[in-house]
Amino acid sequence: MQMRIINPIDDVAFKYLLEDLAIAKALIGKIIGEDIVELVYEKLVD
């Protein structure tokens, strides 16, 4: 299963956390209650 999560929040601390893939996997995994196998970070063009 592949899931895309778009971050509409313009919060510097939250963005910084999500740039660290290990922290992002743990945080998103806790939020959705699932183990995250792979996380690919793609910066969106402003």
pLDDT 10s digits, 8-45: 555 676 777 777 888 888 888 998 999 988 887 777 66
How far, in Å, CA of 2 to CA of 15, rounded?
A: 21
Predicted pLDDT at 10: 59
Predicted pLDDT at 34: 92
Residue 24 near residue 41, CB atoms below 8 Å: yes
Predicted pLDDT at 23: 84
Q: Tell me the H-state helices in 1-46.
A: 12-19, 21-32
Tokens found for residue 42: 């793609």
Predicted pLDDT at 41: 72
| pLDDT tens readout for residues 1-10 | 666 666 555 5
Residue 39 near residue 25, CB atoms below 8 Å: yes
How far, in Å, CA of 19 to CA of 33, rounded?
A: 20
